[in-house]
Structures are given as C-alpha cells and as structure tokens.
Amino acid sequence: MREKEYRHLDCHIHYALPVDPHELVDIMKRTDTDIANLVIVPHRQRISSVPDALMVKHLFPDRFYVFSSLDVTQYFMHHDSVGQHFVTHVKKMLACGCDGVKMIEGKPDMRRTVPIPDFDHPSWDSFWSYAEASGLPILWHVNDPEEFWDPDRIPAWAKSRGWLYGKETINNEVQYAQVLRVLEHHPGLKIIFAHFFFMSAQLPRLATILDRFPQVCIDLTPGIEMYINLSKNRDETVAFFTRYQDRILYGTDIGARSVLGVQGDHVNLEESLNRSSLIRNFLTEASDFVIKADGNFLIGTEDFVLRGLGLPESILTKIYAENFLRVVGDTPRAVSPRRVIRACRHIKLMIRIMSFIDKKLVPDYSYANQVIAYFHKPDAKQQKIEK
C-alpha cells in the first residue's frame, strides 16, 4: 500500500532543458500538482531529451514519473525493422529509470516529416509483442482534431503552426484503422490515448473501442475543442465519465510548446494555470462557467461558456490519480546515473550520425553534456533539493 495519497497526479507534462527543474516544480506547486509524469518527444537537433527528465527525476525522486520517447533515428536507419530496435531501446530506457513510453508518432505532422512505417506494418510487430507481454505503459498521441483537415474550420493558431493537413498527410481515419488493427492483434496492450483519442465529438464510437479493448485508457489533455465538444451534451458526457471512470486520466499538457522540438527557456505560467483550472473546473463545477480568452495556444481570442460535469468525489479521485497509479504503478522507478550517462553518450553519437544523414541538422551536444556533468558530480546521488 502507498504511504501517500495524491490529490492531483498529472499524467502528461512535457519537459526538456533549458527549463530549470526548480521552475517546473514551482509550476506544479502553483497548479496544486502533487506528482507528474514527464512525457518526452523527439527533438530534431538533440534527438532525445529523456536524460533531461531523468535528471529532474533524480533531483526530485518522489515527484516524477518519466515516459521515454522512442529512438527516432531508427526510422531513418532501420525503417523495415524498427520494432526490434525499439525493444532494445525501451529496455535500456527502463533500466535508466523510465516508467513507460510516450509516442508522438501518431501526430500527423510528425508522420509527414519522419518516415514512420504504418503502425500495423510487420516492422512494428516485435515492439507491439514486447509491449503487450511486458505490460509496458504507452501514452500515445494519435491524430489531431478533425478540423485540422478542413481549411474552413481549423483554428488560426493551429494553421500558423503548420497543422493544416491535406492529401500529403495521412488521413485521420486511415490512421485510426491502423491503430485499431494493432489493438486487434495485441489486445493486451496497455495504451493511454492522449487527448481523448480525439473522439470527444464521437462518444458512442469511443465507447465501443473502450468496451472492445478493456486495457485502453484515455487522458484529458486539452485541445480546447475537446472540452467544447464534451460540453455540448452534459447528460451524455456525465454518463460517459461515469461508465468509464476507471479509464480516464487527468493530464494538462503543461509545457506543450516543447512538442516536436520547439522549446523555450521557460514554462508559460499563465497557460499552465489556465490548463489546470480549465480541466478541474469542467470536472467539478455543476453549472455553466465562463472561459476567458487568453490570446494564445490554449484558448484563443474569444470568451466562451462551458457546462461543468459536477462529478462526485469518488470519480474525481480515480481520474486525478488512482487510474494512472493502477496502470503504471504505485512507485516511480529509480534512476540509474551510470546508465543515464551511457545513454547521453549514445545520444551524442546518434546526433553526429544523423548530422551526416540530414545536412540541415545543426548538432547540439550541450544538453547531453549538461546531464553528464550533473551525474558525474561526486555528490550527485546525495543531491536531493528541498521541495
């Protein structure tokens, strides 16, 4: 039995250096977040920021889980056998101290820039079989909001980021079909689909999938369109949350601007507060409430009204923390400094190799070196900074 109960466990926070670990912990304090899962995505110049997150976890071992990215270099080097290479990679990341895997590979923008095999292609088989047999938790971003394929409906902020998809980009229904075929062949996969699987406007369809695959969960990370969709029919949404109360996980996507390598020096405090309050108010308020425009990534330029669900405490407790702990485990894995240093050295090698493959890539070894320097300090194992 756990010694501590967590009020808020955020299953979906992005992190990479140069964001100061103390700033991240301060954001958690400001948002009343007890513990968080750092989910890592590939980085063009740096390949991987998994060691960054493991350094944070080592500094604050009671505050963080870490979900590793996959090794993006394998799509370029071993396209037809990525699965077996991912198995090797994931085993190494778990030994370093990671607790699961974050897959951004289902984001259409990534699939049009990286040669990712179709998910139901045989090249993935080794990985899916390993993940199913080992109970590996995977948090998987699949697709984007439907309106991103419609030039008349896509929000201006998404269009400005290049997320208007056309015929050159995989169709969302094609990708759903690939993913469902993976689940049919590997029904024991422990998957958390990010952003409500982008089916907030299709609750009966999502219910069918959850009924068919009892290991599948979904998280609540915004897209604001998700909450607008869920707010349209309060009774239907409350019934859905009640029926699947064991399958829904709280997550905010704080630090989301680190996705796909866009990384600043700071986490946006205003947006972080807006994300956490939006989700919690939606879950707890029993009446309508106004969402004020923030003029940026999350909400946009117009106020609007959401209809709160007013869920009981018994359901909220599961969504806020218990479901993640059941799926992933009560205790984060311990970090192995020796293995993290070895992983940093491998990342530096892969950065060098990829710079020969991609002539536009500007190698950046600085952050891997920073993590190596941290773990090489004689007192690194004793560095436990006060919360």
Q: What are the backbone angles phi and psi of residue 139, rounded to the nearest 5°?
A: -100, 115
Q: Is 39 helix (H, G, I), strand (E, B) or coil?
A: strand
For residue 61, the Cα-to-chain-centroid distance in whole angstroms is: 20
Extract the tokens encoding 95.
């030994």
Are 176 and 146 a contacting pair, CB within 8 Å? Answer: no
How many CB atoms lie under 10 A from the CB of residue 361? 14
Q: What is the pLDDT of residue 280?
A: 95
Tell me the three state secondary structure of residue 86: helix
Contacts of 185 (CB under 8 A, 6+ apart): 120, 128
Strands (E), 60-202: 64-68, 100-106, 137-142, 190-193
125: left (phi over 0), alpha (psi -120 to 50) or beta: alpha
Q: Using CA atoms, how far apart are residues 67 and 143, in angstroms rounded to an integer?
A: 20
Which letter, b or e, does each residue of 207-222 get, where b requires 16 or more Cβ atoms within 10 Å of its Cβ? Answer: eebbeebebbbbbbbb
Say how far apart CA 236 and CA 311 lie, in whole Å: 13
What CA–CA distance (Å, rounded) separates 283 from 279?
6
What is the predicted pLDDT for the residue at 258? Answer: 45
**Residue-level pLDDT at 338:** 96
Kindly list the structural domains of the chain, giving each domain's residue range(s) and its CATH number in brackets, ordered by start: 9-334 (3.20.20.140)
What pLDDT shows up at residue 301?
58
CA distances in angstroms from 200 to 93, 338, 365, listed in the order given: 33, 43, 40
Q: What is the DSSP letter of 56?
A: H
Inter-residue contact 255 to 15 (CB < 8 Å):
yes
For 103, the 3-state DSSP assignment is strand
* Gap between the Cα atoms of 213 and 183, Å rounded: 7
What are the mean pLDDT values of the chain's consecutive 10-residue runs (387 residues total)? 68 94 95 96 88 97 96 92 97 98 94 93 98 98 88 79 82 95 98 97 97 97 90 96 98 70 71 91 91 67 84 96 97 97 95 85 90 86 41
Cα 233 to its chain centre, rounded Å, is 27
What global pTM score does this model have? Answer: 0.92
Q: Please spell the DSSP secondary structure of 1-33, one letter per residue.
A: --S---S-EEEEEE--TTS-HHHHHHHHHHTT-
Element (H, E) at 217: strand 217-219
Contact 34, 46 (CB under 8 A): no
- C-alpha 31/C-alpha 277 separation (Å) is 8
Identify which of 74, 72, 149, 152 has the alpha carbon closest to the alpha carbon of residue 110: 72
307 pairs with which residues across the strands? 288
